[in-house]
Amino acid sequence: MKSVFCFSAASLLAAPAFALSCDGLTPDALGLEGITFTEVASVPAGDDSTVAQCRIRGRMAERTGSDGREYALSFELALPQDWNGDFVHQFNGGNDGVVKPATGALESGTGDQSPLARGFAVISSDAGHDGSLFQDRGLAGGSAFGADFEARQMYGYKAVASLQPVAETIVEGFYEKPISHSYGIGCSNGGRHAMVAAARMPDAFDGLLIGAPGFHLPRAALQHALDAQSFAEVDTDIRKAFSPEDLRLVADSILQSCDDLDGLSDGVVNDTAACQQAFDITQLQCTDGQNSACLSPAQITALQTIHAGPKDADGKQLYSDWSWDPGIAGADWRFWKLESTVPPWDNMPIIAVMGASSLAQVFTTPPTEVGGTPAELLQFLLDFDIATQAAQIDATDDDFPESAMQVMAPPGSDNPDLASFRDAGGKMMIYHGVADPVFSVNDTANWFAKLNANNGGEAEFARFYPVPGMNHCHGGPGADAFDLLTPLVEWVENGTEPAVATATIRPDNEDAPEALRGATRPLCPAPQVARYGSGDEASAASFQCE
């Protein structure tokens, strides 16, 4: 980048110990228009950051929406004193709507040290809307932005595309050096942002670290309605449809059928594909006179239904099916699907709060304004006719000329080749928990299989790592602590192709068998499976990816 600045990087970095001087840093000085810096601060190490940095908070794309609300794309940019020359765009999850601290860290996937602590410059944003401005909408406020079409677009794909060149200008202007490599990192909706970037912005990122991607988010939202309706058939209070003991019974039965398929009975099912053939949920149905250590016929039907995924009136699959995995007993699985620990939500699960309001107001056209109480949001899911209303995720009208699927999904996601990203030299590493309760690992696996097929049988620029036992982005009885950022950087910057990664079962993981906490396991690139050979059962070195 050709410098247009009247001050030097040396002057900016000449600062007291453990602090940066950000004096004189303004949008005008950087040649930026339509940008407001709301805060420019020197942040010493050990204050609210792990490293000394210049922290910039700002706003852009300010406007009044069609709904009369005020919108802007707000961001935080962290410029570390010891910059390594690289940049990370941090893609956040959920409905966005809040600027999370710009560290680049993920709950799983980036290891023990955040990208910021490693020396990356990092930007984070709210994807174009401030969820706190909709407090009058109660629990439905986080997705109320969906009434404005441009806010949907920003959330779907425009925020990243708009912010990336601004961030590059600031970073390169601050350091007076070009960025060496750009990375995008995110899990859940953040993983979706990354996959959208690969399709829509193929030249923007050298490497993408993609966790549990909700790249078919509107379709996955249909599953929320299916879940709620299926659980309500068991108990009108969906929180009581399955007790923790019921789900533990299912998990134990899966383990009994599948645990040794990888050569070791250890509480983790590595051979997911074989397990789908070996496990039969009907074996848990109560027999005449049995009322404990079994499931009722209604419970069996509910689990079969939700694992089969939503279908339309003709029986056509609307979203993916799901894999059976002992992670069904994980605390995160329950929190999402059955029961939370949040009193203001009336302990309703996330699907009945964020999930319901998002389906109503962001992922269907026209949007439905829903009440903001837990009961009202749950009722929306219970009343949603999947067979006939699912078409609303693909619908358009005069106010919403792009459907929710067009806004949210990466173009070509049903038959991906990512040729432009590939030809630009981009690399991507994807991980997904096999027991994810929000986005099906099967959907990601099917996408990856098509990507391989459309790239001569193997997409050499992509790797996919299913994580046995892991719930959504983290948690569950699996090895959910791992670092895929380091091998991604090695791949991008040195041409070293990634292979097997090492994952750890966190010592504080209460979902995992106590004897396994702290153990390591190989994280195998699909389609390989970790199989035990011989030696220390707590060591990844005793397994092979085959």
Distance between first and last Cα of the chain: 46
CA angle 207, 179, 113 (to 5 degrees): 60
Annotated active-site residue 181? The verdict is no
CA distance linking residue 297 with residue 294, whole number of Å: 10
Catalytic residue among 436, 480, 483, 511: 436
Examine the residue annotation and report whether 89 is marked as an active-site residue of this protein. no
Distance CA 327, CA 476 (A): 5
Residue 317: what residue type?
Answer: Q
Q: Which string of b and e fits 269-293 if b means at least 16 CB within 10 Å?
A: bbbbeebbebbebeebeeeeeeeee
CB atoms < 10 A from the CB of 163, how many? 24
Give which of 185, 32, 58 is closest to 116, Cα–Cα: 185
Give me the phi and psi of 33, to 5 degrees please.
-120, 150
Task: Using DSSP, state whether 187 is helix, strand or coil.
Answer: strand
**Whole-number Å distance between alpha carbons of 304 and 316:** 17
Query: Is 188 a catalytic site residue?
Result: yes
What's phi and psi for 292, nearest 5 deg?
Answer: -145, 160
Check if the beta carbon of residue 102 is closer than 8 Å to that of residue 116.
yes
Contact criterion met (CB below 8 Å) for 108 and 523 = no
Query: Could you tell me how many residues make up the chain?
Result: 546
Query: Looking at 42, 124, 143, 188, which residue is catalytic?
Result: 188
Which residue among the candidates 125, 472, 480, 542 is catalytic per the annotation?
Answer: 472
Catalytic positions are 188, 436, 472
